[in-house]
């Protein structure tokens, strides 16, 4: 498939997990991809795996100077930008009664403020036909025990897309949310262990966790002209977990 032929994409949190799976799919469909993430070793490994149509820029979405370097690199090499996948995120369980200001700051700094500036700083490089994809979560719809701050941050991301669709009227740029359910990334496997993986799998009507490639395929759909009449929408790729 060549739905993304000639397109330039940025993926934050792109070195591992869903971001890396999306990068693979984007490149398979013809895109040139910039990976942005905090870990240089993971970025280098990802680029080695992805091949000549991938570049890496090290940095954090919580640092505006780092985002500035990312988009300067895109402008210098490619000139324009077609796709932004604001995928970088953070989350950890803290139950009500134990929530701290530091926990709130960490989650919202990455998931909300990071998404805002990832997109805002990209806009000067984007034009008609551009696609912005924000990573939401099934937790933003359903809530999850001990994940109230994370869930609230993802609900905020959902509303960003609704508001930005209005702000982007007349530009030809679309913005949508991709909301995965439990996904079998390497991080999830390490954090949950076999028993935790089984527990999360049982929550879905499909009785399994998503493969990151399945989320990457959905991201490619939102990035492509196949979703050309979609904006302000949420695409739930959650095995039905937030739908019933």
Count of CB atoms situated within 10 Å of the CB of 203: 18
Count of CB atoms situated within 10 Å of the CB of 179: 24
What does the block give as tokens for 50?
A: 């992805």
d(CA 172, CA 227) in angstroms, rounded, equals 13
Tell me, letter by letter, the H, E, C secondary structure of 193-209.
Answer: HHHHHHHHHHHCCCCCC
Q: Which H helix or E strand runs over 10?
A: strand 8-12
Catalytic residue among 71, 121, 150, 189: 150
User: Taking the mean position of all CA atoms in its chain, how far away is CA 98?
Assistant: 28
Catalytic residue among 24, 71, 154, 169: 154
- 71 counts as catalytic: no
Q: Which residue has the tokens 């134990």?
A: 98
Angle at which helix 148-167 crosses helix 101-108, to 10 degrees, equals 40
- 150 counts as catalytic: yes
Three-class DSSP category at 53:
coil
Q: Which residues are known catalytic residues?
A: 150, 154
């Amino acid at each position: 498939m060549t739905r993304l032929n000639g397109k330039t994409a940025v993926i934050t949190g792109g070195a591992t997990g869903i971001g890396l799976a999306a990068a693979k799919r984007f490149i398979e469909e013809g895109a040139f991809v910039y990976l942005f993430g905090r870990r240089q070793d993971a970025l280098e490994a990802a680029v080695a795996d992805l091949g000549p149509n991938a570049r890496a820029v090290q940095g954090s979405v919580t640092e505006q100077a780092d985002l500035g370097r990312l988009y300067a690199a895109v402008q210098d090499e490619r000139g324009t930008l077609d796709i932004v996948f604001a995928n970088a995120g953070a989350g950890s369980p803290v139950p009500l009664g134990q929530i701290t200001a530091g926990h709130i700051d960490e989650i919202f700094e990455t998931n909300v403020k990071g998404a805002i500036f990832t997109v805002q700083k990209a806009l000067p490089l984007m034009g008609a036909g551009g696609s912005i994809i924000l990573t939401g979560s099934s937790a933003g719809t359903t809530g999850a025990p001990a994940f109230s701050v994370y869930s609230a941050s993802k609900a905020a991301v959902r509303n960003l897309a609704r508001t930005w669709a209005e702000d982007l009227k007349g530009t030809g740029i679309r913005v949508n949310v991709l909301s995965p359910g439990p996904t079998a990334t390497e991080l999830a496997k390490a954090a949950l262990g076999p028993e935790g993986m089984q527990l999360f799998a049982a929550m879905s009507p499909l009785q399994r966790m998503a493969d990151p490639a399945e989320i990457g395929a959905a991201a490619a759909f939102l990035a492509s002209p196949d979703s050309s009449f979609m904006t302000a929408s949420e695409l739930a790729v959650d095995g039905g977990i937030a739908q019933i």
